[in-house]
Structure 1
Amino acid sequence: MTADVQPPRRALIVRGGWDGHQPREATELFIPFLEANGFRVEVHEDTRVYADARTMSGFDLIVQCNTMTVIQGDEIAGLRAAVEAGTGMGGWHGGIADSYRNEADYLQLIGGQFAHHAGKHPDERIGEQSDNYLPYTVTMTELGREHEITRGVDDFDLVTEQYWVLHDDLIDILATTTTPARAWDPWKRPVTSPVFWTRQWGEGRIFVSTVGHRVEVLEDPTVRTVVERGLLWAARTA
């Protein structure tokens, strides 16, 4: 008698938007990982699939890497319905935390939105992405030190974009970073923002990393480990 063979879980990748975040290259980095963990991966280059309720009901995980752009009303409604019904969702940086600025319903779903990243001193800027690359520390919270996504991960340092995030208190914050107030900044005290967080929405789980500006950041061993764990955590469970 043979054991029952479970069908593969299905992951949807939706990518696009600003090319500076390397949506194609960044998502390709994680496809082998997902396949090795039992997912059949389907890739879409736009958001139209979100409006197809029958198709969306078959996915166990949505990985979104789509910075800015515009989403239609039926698409955001379909995305929210899928997550509420149990489809997990995860992503990194602007691909999930700076998507669809035209839709408040998307912001409510994710729980946090990119607002700013501080830059170098104006005299040091050269008009490139590197103008916003600053050294900073990612600090684990007490929850983060215990959570399965970040258990065993210590505070760590990066040199990349440091997201200032507007967020609500329905998110569970696993790590934070603090943007200092420098002499030339208009804000006058440090601002602490979440770096990694989770969110329960209906039956669905959401994982967000604000770290992941480009492939070289996602290839950092600590960042990659957390993102991979986050995607698996978010995916629909039996």
Structure 2
Amino acid sequence: MSHLLHRFLVFTLVAVCAAALTTQVQAEDTKPLNVLLITSGCCHDYDFQSKAIQLATEKAGVKAVWTVVNDGGKGTDAEIDFYSSENWADGFDVVVHNECFAKTVNPEYIRSITKVHKSGVPAVVIHCAMHTYRNTDIDDWREFLGVTSRRHEHQAHYGVTIAKADHPIMRDFPEAYTTPMDELYVIEKVWPNTTVLATSKSEKSGETHPVFWTNQYGDARVFGTTYGHSNDTFKDAVYLETLTRGMLWAAGRLE
């Protein structure tokens, strides 16, 4: 099968799945989803990624109201003012974390975020969120994520192997799927309440790592993916569909 034909079939499949997702979600809950997106930091085009996520939910027929907090600059060390209120997540159905602050280490600040999620606020964690606060000594953020990672392998087009085909997030995921150019994160630890949904294998090291998963953190559902480095990934229909399904599942809108 040619690469062009393969891509055509994948996009056709995603279009069909998006239509099915729209029907399923609307049948279950037509109330708009109130989404908080926290984004910024080093290394990525967060403006583009933020718009891509919002457009993906719209194309899937998901009614959503978005609040985007793009704060902290483009460095690796920042404490976002938005988190200074104890009630920073009040009113939101799900929080999407797509920030990248590896050198922020303040335990009190980090726990002001994690304690809110542990009390029941659902979350989606994307790519560099896994390396955010990686230099800190405490494990609260890592337990919240569901995985521990401090580094990544090379960029490549990685094949994805489904581990839980019957999970609502992965139910319509293509059996044969290769990512756009992206990074494979090295996962040091999978936390006890994490369920791995899919993995990728490095052709260089031979190591296999989780790339999509769910986590139960206290009373909160968390969906995570280590993919999301490049703008090409945020143009990919399969990836965006999976993010949308993960967000809906975390918020209790997809079962």
User: CA 1:73–1:48 in 2, change beyond 3 Å: closer, same or farther?
Assistant: farther
State the TM-score, normalized to the length of structure 2.
0.73
Residue 157 of structure 2: SS of its match in structure 1?
Answer: strand
Residue 99 of structure 2: SS of its match in structure 1?
Answer: strand
Is 221-230 or 158-167 further displaced after alignment?
158-167
State the TM-score, normalized to the length of structure 1.
0.78
Aligned counterpart, 1:147: 167
User: CA 1:236–1:100 in 2, change beyond 3 Å: closer, same or farther?
Assistant: farther
User: CA 1:205–1:10 in 2, change beyond 3 Å: closer, same or farther?
Assistant: same
CA shift, 1:6, in A, is 7.8
Cα pair 1:149 1:226 within 8 Å, conserved: yes
Q: Unaligned regions of 5+ residues in structure 2, if any?
A: 1-28, 72-79
User: CA 1:73–1:117 in 2, change beyond 3 Å: closer, same or farther?
Assistant: closer
Identity %, equivalent residues: 24
User: CA 1:55–1:7 in 2, change beyond 3 Å: closer, same or farther?
Assistant: farther
Does residue 1:157 correspond to 2:182, yes or no? no
Alignment of 1:38-49 (within 5 A): 38-46=63-71, 47-49=80-82
Residue 56 of structure 1: SS of its match in structure 2?
Answer: coil
Match of 2:237 among 207, 221, 231: 221
Give the aligned length. Answer: 209
Which amino acid letter does the alignment assign opposite residue 167 of structure 1?
K
Cα pair 1:49 1:75 within 8 Å, conserved: no
Write the deviation string for residues 124-178 of structure 1: whole angstroms up to 9, x where unpaired.
Answer: xxxxxxxx3223211101x2x1011111211312332222212224210000112
Is 228-237 or 206-215 further displaced after alignment?
228-237
Q: Unaligned regions of 5+ residues in structure 1, if any?
A: 119-131, 183-189
Aligned counterpart, 1:75: 109
CA shift, 1:82, in A, is 2.0
Alignment of 1:86-235 (within 5 A): 86-94=120-128, 96-101=129-134, 102=136, 103-118=138-153, 132-141=154-163, 143=164, 145-153=165-173, 154-158=175-179, 159-168=181-190, 169-181=192-204, 190-235=206-251
Match of 1:31 among 38, 45, 54: 54
CA shift, 1:114, in A, is 2.9
Is 216-225 or 74-83 further displaced after alignment?
74-83
CA distance in 2, matches of 1:227, 1:135: 19
> What's the Cα RMSD here?
2.4
CA distance in 2, matches of 1:52, 1:6: 30
CA distance in 1, matches of 2:92, 2:107: 20
Does residue 1:65 correspond to 2:98, yes or no? yes
Aligned counterpart, 2:37: 13
Which amino acid letter does the alignment assign opposite residue 188 of structure 2?
L
